[in-house]
Amino acid sequence: MHSKGYIFLTFEFRKEGRRWTAYCKELGTATFGRSVTEAEARLKEAVALHLNTLDDVGETEHFFKEHNIKFHFTKPKHDVPILISATKGTFGKLYIHPVRELAGIA
């Protein structure tokens, strides 16, 4: 995929017993892993599959509008993960995902 822009997604991680759950707030996609690293890798894969499916059925633009997901033409200058918030056993971080240009955006 040749990216034309980016979307910013919020990943949330929570320790539940011996596993970590991972959740993308904007897409509603979730998974788990034995470590935060494994859970994050699985979530990135699930997010890519979700977005590819939306693209395949022509629903990306509609879904983004409905879920208030903003399309950005430029990527932030830094690639450092940004910690969103942290509470006992839970934390969130910003994830930047490349996407194709949307038809309705000029």
CATH number of the domain enclosing 58: 3.30.160
Which string of b and e fits 46-58 if b means at least 16 CB within 10 Å? bbeeebeebbeee
For the cut 90, the answer to whether the pLDDT of residue 45 exceeds it is yes
- Please state the domain count of the chain: 1
Quote the domain boundaries for residue 13.
Answer: 5-99
pLDDT of residue 78: 59
Q: Coil, helix or strand for 73?
A: coil
Least confidently predicted of 20-24, 47-51, 52-56, 74-78: 74-78
Between 32 and 102, the higher pLDDT residue: 32
Of 77, 88, 70, the C-alpha closest to 13 is 88
Q: Is residue 12 part of a domain?
A: yes
Q: What is the mean pLDDT of residues 46-55?
A: 93
Give the pTM: 0.79
Tokens of 76: 């932030």
